Amino acid sequence: MNKAVIVSKKAPTEKVVLTDAKASFATKAAGPAYIVLAGISFSHFLNDTMQSLIASVYPILKDNYALDFAQIGLITLAFQFTASLLQPLVGHFTDKKAQPFSLSIGMGSTFFGLLLLSIAHHYAVILIAAAMIGLGSAVFHPESARIARLASGGRYGFAQSVFQLGGSFGTSMGPVLAALIVVPFGQGSIAWFSSIAFIAIVLLWRIGLWYKPQITAKKSAPIAPEAHGQSRGTVLLALGVLVLLLFSKQLYVASLSSYYIFYLIDRFGVSTQAAQIYLFVFLAANAVGAFFGGPLGDRFGRRIVIWLSIVGALPFTLALPYAGLAASAVLSVIIGLIISSTTSSIIVFAQELVPHRFGMISGVFFGVAFGIGGLGAAVLGKVADYTSIEFVYQVCAFLPAIGLFAVFLPKLPQHAR
């Protein structure tokens, strides 16, 4: 009789454990949560649209306040260093205690940063405004990447690509909006874009309502072991290689997104608005490449996509500094399509190497991407002041060759092979 009682008491517990252990498999079977993926991708679009305004209004700030290229680089550094420094910390904190409504709160920092940038009349205030927008980015990326993975239904590369697609298109929209609005109406019109931040705050709050019960389910589930079977040393080496590969990609992209406008104006004598449209073409190609890179990684393996996307861009980057205006536009599209396809594969590869530190790893890699861009922009600006913009592009053309270090990446089972 007592034995029967004991069995009846244990049975519910065993059922709960089995249910929790199979929760991830049930989520995969259900497939991606497309509405959530669309929402978080659109939020990424809004977030990065606002961020890209900073680089897009550089010509205006440069003329209004007589800034040199080094000071322009420091604005990028102020914006991206904040994000780079805080993103891993935010990711580490949310690994321990997820914050479903932190995304909408962080977007508030972007909201006030845009308002401050629109009324800034001193260089120091411009730096503070840029740093506030960077703070919003630091809070946004680690948790939003986690939400994208939760909504993936097991298609991690696809989900990461959908997430990246929103950000890439948002980045590409900055130059267009600057050409259509900020250039004709001046620095004060930047305040109009705070309405975009408000829309993002509302949307992210709604996503937080979906995310909150997912956190409760995650707490009751056991921590999944690392299934790739790699040693700690191999994992650390692989993470170091992935950071190096991201360095080569992001520094090259930073060279174009920060100074491509000045390069086109200086070499071909195009107008500021025309140069912003050329920058939009490059950034739009980046968005398309970022979208297709993830599904290709799911299908053929992330190592192959990383190899082809970084090293495959090398012949075209070497040709760009010597091409005419029309050829430069074509080459920028090819480079954008190829080099951006690696982003999702690098990030998902790193997440699968250290699955129990998802937020921190996401924060490190998103943070490194931002930090490299900021440091690179500052250094390249200084180099451009002492030499020329054309010389900068001749040097940066060799950056994709760093992709050869992908040979040290281990082969992982299933999605990360």
Q: Is the dihedral of CA 203, 204, 209, 215 positive or negative?
A: positive
pLDDT digits (tens, 9 = 90+) for 185-228: 888 888 888 888 899 899 999 888 888 787 665 544 444 445 45
Of the candidates 83, 55, 75, 74, the residue with the CA atom closest to the CA atom of residue 370 = 83
Average pLDDT, the chain: 79
State the residue for tokens 């405004």: 129
Please indicate, yes or no, if residue 77 is contained in any of the structural domains: yes
Please indicate, yes or no, if residue 24 is contained in any of the structural domains: no
* Tally of structural domains, the chain: 1
Whether the predicted pLDDT of 335 surpasses 80? yes
- Is residue 41 within 8 A of residue 235, CB to CB? The reply is no
* Residue 302 neighbours by CB under 8 Å, 6+ apart: 157, 345, 346, 348, 349, 415, 416, 417
pLDDT digits (tens, 9 = 90+) for 257-312: 778 888 898 889 998 888 888 988 888 888 788 778 778 877 888 888 888 887 78
Give, in degrees to the nearest 5, the angle at Cα 349 between 314 and 292: 60
Query: Could you give the CA distance from residue 277 to residue 265 in angstroms, rounded to a whole number?
Result: 12
Query: Could you give the CA distance from residue 401 to residue 376 in angstroms, rounded to a whole number?
Result: 17
Give, in degrees to the nearest 5, the angle at Cα 346 between 47 and 76: 40
- Is residue 311 within 8 A of residue 403, CB to CB? The reply is yes
The residue range of the domain holding 291 is 35-416
Question: What 3-state class would DSSP assign to 326?
Answer: helix
Instruction: Note the pLDDT of residue 127.
Output: 92
Per DSSP, 223 falls in state P
pLDDT digits (tens, 9 = 90+) for 198-207: 998 999 998 8
Q: Higher confidence at residue 97 or residue 138?
A: 138
Q: How much of the chain, in percent, has pLDDT values that exceed 90? A: 10
- Mean pLDDT (whole number) for 84-95: 76
- Is residue 397 within 8 A of residue 317, CB to CB? The reply is yes
Please indicate, yes or no, if residue 344 is contained in any of the structural domains: yes
Q: Higher confidence at residue 179 or residue 199?
A: 199
Whether the predicted pLDDT of 368 surpasses 80? no
Please indicate, yes or no, if residue 30 is contained in any of the structural domains: no
- The answer to pTM > 0.75 is no
Please indicate, yes or no, if residue 8 is contained in any of the structural domains: no
Q: How much of the chain, in percent, has pLDDT values that exceed 70? A: 85
- Mean pLDDT (whole number) for 17-26: 37
Instruction: Note the pLDDT of residue 316.
Output: 94
- When mean pLDDT is compared across 51-60, 253-262, 359-368, the lowest value belongs to 359-368
Instruction: Note the pLDDT of residue 396.
Output: 87
pLDDT digits (tens, 9 = 90+) for 109-157: 989 999 998 888 889 999 999 999 888 888 888 788 788 888 877 777 7
Instruction: Residue 269: give its domain's CATH number.
Output: 1.20.1250.20
Whether the predicted pLDDT of 184 surpasses 50? yes
Per DSSP, 411 falls in state P
Please indicate, yes or no, if residue 12 is contained in any of the structural domains: no
Whether the predicted pLDDT of 27 surpasses 60? no
Q: Higher confidence at residue 332 or residue 364?
A: 332
What residue type is assigned to position 346 of the chain?
A: I
Please indicate, yes or no, if residue 17 is contained in any of the structural domains: no
Please indicate, yes or no, if residue 28 is contained in any of the structural domains: no
Which pair of structure tokens corresponds to residue 13? 């517990």
